[in-house]
Structure 1
Amino acid sequence: MEDSLIAGKTLTEWKKAYPLLNKIISMEEVFWKNPKYQVYKEAVITARLNEENVRDAEERLSRFAPYIAKVFPETQETNGMIESPIVEIHNFHNQLEKMFNQNIQGKILLKCDNQLAISGSIKARGGIYEVLKHAEDLAIENNMLTMNDDYSIINNDEFRKFYSKYSISVGSTGNLGLSIGIMSAKIGFNVTVHMSADAKQWKKDLLRSKGVIVIEHNSDYSKAVEEGRKQSDANPNSFFVDDENSTDLFLGYAVAASRLKKQLDELNVKVDEDHPLFVYLPCGVGGGPGGVTFGLKLIFKDHVHCFFSEPTHSPCMLIGLMTEQHDRVSVQDFGIDNLTDADGLAVGRPSGFVGKSLENVISGVYTIEDKMLYALLSTLIDTEDIYLEPSALAGVLGPVQLFKSRSGRKYLEQNKLFHKMANATHIPWATGGNMVPKEIMESYYNKGLQISSEMGDMLSKLKKSKKF
């Protein structure tokens, strides 16, 4: 493999150009500081999208709110707005410091997208938004709806019969499929979800219970997307949700930023030059964290610092950004297997659209081992009674890595942030979890307890041998 070409270079040449690749290929945890990161006014953000596009998406979600409130009773309290709470996790913060023997300055707030209505993950933002936009476009084109209507009228047999002429399909590792499938089926579309081999069985079962066609593939995410696109292209009435390149998905995620600002304002949390904000986002193909990052940068500019987190076995965005090859390379090209329990993050090739658009905006990327996800999962349950699926824990290690890793400290130093960290706010983005069946969550918890116990024993031995 050393002599085979990867995007025009041998593996040996890539390792020489980027020494960190040696650790990445060995699937060790790393923290990478993005050397192309620029201050906001100099950063190159895709010219196709701006504040107006995000505002348009937010207004569309408001138009659909009466419909959402009618067909999903769990959203009635929020008048059809699909949003999650943000909570301070003080006890977990204290436990993190003990676990890693690392002081973490500032406060840690958890953005609880695990509690998002309808599909229980961050994908409820982009996935549901894209389905709603497609439904609106079709209805307006066919003179069944105007933007001045009360959109709750969509909840009738006439509209369901109309939408039944059309199909929606998507390739997914799990959570995007849930959001697309549940929303599309509710509206009346025929919907097919192509699931990769790493998708959890309970997610497939749940989709089928909603009337969604689930096609399983004995391959990874990229193949599921490829097959989904191929099937959709063969049907002129089919719409394919392209997680790798969709600007609509991206904008649906970006709406989260303005809502987060309101929540921070309500909590009297300042974000300004002296009160930096750090956001840690689990990353699969990149659409969700990319959209959120874009929205946050539009609002907070240089005062927000966004880091992506990936499994050590699936560091596709990290490799794409670091080599500047983006979607031209995959983790498999570098001998990494893309096998992880973090199913939502099990992606071998990143979104070129996100990587190229935000390569000067993303502050950095760090990786996390599967066993650490489980240890953090059980710790969060014990300290805060918050239940997340394994992939959603990828963000909570961020504050530790920022202070503990050499690259993280270097980032703080270069951006003149060290003396401001007592006033910092850290927000790990909890991307999913509340739809996990109880018995499966219990198995996750027990696995986390076992791993935590083993980690504690190792830590104790290291301290006794004075190597720590």
Structure 2
Amino acid sequence: DDLLPIAGSIKARGGIYEVLKYAETLAINEDLLTINEDYSILAQDNFKNFFSNYTIQVGSTGNLGLSIGIISAKIGFKVKVHMSKDAKQWKKDLLRSKGVEVIEYLSDYSKAVEQGRKESENDPNSYFIDDENSKDLFLGYGVAGLRIKEQLEKMNIIVDENHPLFVYLPCGVGGGPGGVTYGLKLVYGDNVHCFFAEPTHSPAMLLGLMTGLHDKISVEDFGIDNKTEADGLAVGRPSSFVGKIMDKILSGIFTIEDNKLYKFLKALAIEENIYLEPSALAGFLGPVLISGKEGEDYLRKYNIFENKDNITHICWATGGSLVPENIMEEYINRV
């Protein structure tokens, strides 16, 4: 997803979809648009003037803010992105260069979302995009299942009972990987096995699912500091909406230390000439774990061990193409 246009991350799937859906709803309600028209007219000045009467707000550690901010500003909305302390400076700078108002907080992601939601509720012309609870965002991410099916068919890669698909997804609050998992399960059913990857210092979804308490519990409750270089995954409290869906369909969760993110980042840059941001590398530990003892136990439990050589592994690269060159150089030189 680092190659997705406009926002260069998985958040382009859900974020851009929800903004365009909101724009469509406003225009149709005002009789400015019908579903039979060419939607490219939404880019015209009269629509931009109309959308400028409305504000879109979002809480983010980075990539969702980029996704929402860039597309919203482009089609005329006023935009406020509430960013936690974990957000990278270059992401804040990029948003401001696009005309987006960035509000910075000294607290973590949950507080930024809470404040953004509260401010938006006080303005009747404001729309809050909620990464913790939005069904539209979730469905936007879910379309990835159809996209993967199309891509794998073009590559002549079979996915069936004897040729399972294993997918490893970096997880923050859970919306992005949750939506992708939901979409993949709709397409492939039991033939796809999805695993979430979280930083050791921010295992929010892991704890939410293990305890069954979801958003009623945070990593801080366990004395974990929620400090990680993987800014997009620096979340202390998971989405309850997503967690309750994943409880039934997710295959597992594992954690990864920050230093390993940089090792994978450097190796991928050198070996494959692919440049990702740290959080996008979290899933790369998945195939390593599956080849170990815990992985063998899992494969035997689900009668996959005999077909282990037929497994197609996908490490979901969630973002990186917008990272400035000098920052990427710093990442590579960390190890």
TM-score by length of 2: 0.99
Letter of the 1:379 counterpart? A
Question: 2:327 corresponds to which residue?
Answer: 440
1:303-342 residue pairs with structure 2 within 5 A? 303-342=191-230
Task: Identify the match of residue 235 of structure 1 among 108, 120, 123.
Answer: 123
Residue matched to 1:31? none
Shift of residue 116, structure 1, vs aligned partner: 0.8
Matches of 1:145 and 1:260 in 2, distance apart? Answer: 32
Q: Distance in 2 between matches of 1:292 and 1:410?
A: 25
1:415 to 284, 290, 302: 302
C-alpha displacement at 1:259, in angstroms?
A: 1.0
- 1:381 Cα deviation from its structure 2 partner: 0.7
Q: Which residue of 2 aligns with 1:116?
A: 4
Moved over 3 A (4+): none
User: Partner of 1:78 in structure 2?
Assistant: none
Offset of residue 396 of structure 1: 1.1
Unaligned runs of 5+ in 2: none
Of 58, 70, 76, the match for 1:182 = 70
- Per the alignment, residue 26 of structure 2 pairs with 138
1:403 Cα deviation (Å)?
A: 1.7
User: Quick one: distance in 2 between partners of 1:322 and 1:407?
Assistant: 17
The 5 A counterparts of 1:235-254 are 235-254=123-142
Whole-angstrom CA distance in 2 between matches of 1:422 and 1:402: 12
Distance across 1 between alignment mates of 2:169 and 2:134? 19
Partner of 1:354: 242
Structure 1 counterpart SS, 2:291: helix
2:161 partner letter = E
1:379-408 deviation line (CA, Å, top 9, x unaligned): 00111000000000001111001122x332
Cα distance in 1, alignment partners of residues 57 and 223 from structure 2: 31
- Written as runs of structure 1 = structure 2, the 5 A alignment for 1:39-438 is 113-404=1-292, 406-438=293-325
1:80-130 Cα distance to aligned partner (Å, 9 max, x none): xxxxxxxxxxxxxxxxxxxxxxxxxxxxxxxxx111110110000001111
- The letter for the 1-side match of 2:285 is L
Letter of the 1:126 partner, please give it: G
Identical-pair percentage: 67
AA aligned opposite 1:428: C
Q: CA deviation at 1:410?
A: 1.6
Which amino acid in 2 is paired with 1:340?
T
CA deviation string 1:317-348 (max 9, x = no partner):
00001111111100011100000000000000
**Structure number with bigger Rg:** 1
Query: In the alignment, which residue of structure 2 is the partner of 1:46?
Result: none
Amino acid corresponding to residue 299 of structure 1 in structure 2 = V
Within 2, Cα distance between the matches of 1:156 and 1:114?
A: 29
Q: Secondary structure at the match of 2:59?
A: strand
Inter-partner Cα distance in structure 2 for 1:400 and 1:354 = 26
Rounded to whole Å, the distance in 2 between the matches of 1:210 and 1:156 is 18
Amino acid corresponding to residue 356 of structure 1 in structure 2 = K
Distance apart, 1:263 and its partner CA: 0.5
SS at match of 1:269: coil
1:442, 1:408 → 2: CA distance?
34
Question: How far apart, in 2, do the equivalents of 1:247 and 1:155 lie?
Answer: 25
How far does residue 409 in structure 1 lie from its aligned partner after superposition? 2.0
Give the SS at the match of 1:279. strand
What is the RMSD of the two structures over their aligned residues, measured on CA atoms? Answer: 0.6
What is the alpha-carbon distance in structure 1 between the residues aligned to residue 42 and residue 9 of structure 2? 25
For the residues of structure 2 that align with 1:439 and 1:415, how far apart are their CA atoms? 45
The higher-RCO structure (CA 8 Å, 6+ apart) is: 1
- Give the whole-Å Cα distance in 1 for the aligned partners of 2:290 and 2:18: 34
Instruction: Give the letter for the 1:201 counterpart.
Output: Q
The alpha carbon displacement at 1:411 in A equals 1.2
Matched pairs, number: 335
Deviation per residue, 1:288-316 (Å, 9 max, x gap): 00000000000100000000000000000
TM-score, scaled relative to structure 1: 0.71
SS in 2 for 1:211: coil
Q: Counterparts of 1:233 and 1:266 in 2: how far apart (Å)?
A: 46
Counterparts of 1:133 and 1:335, CA distance in 2: 40
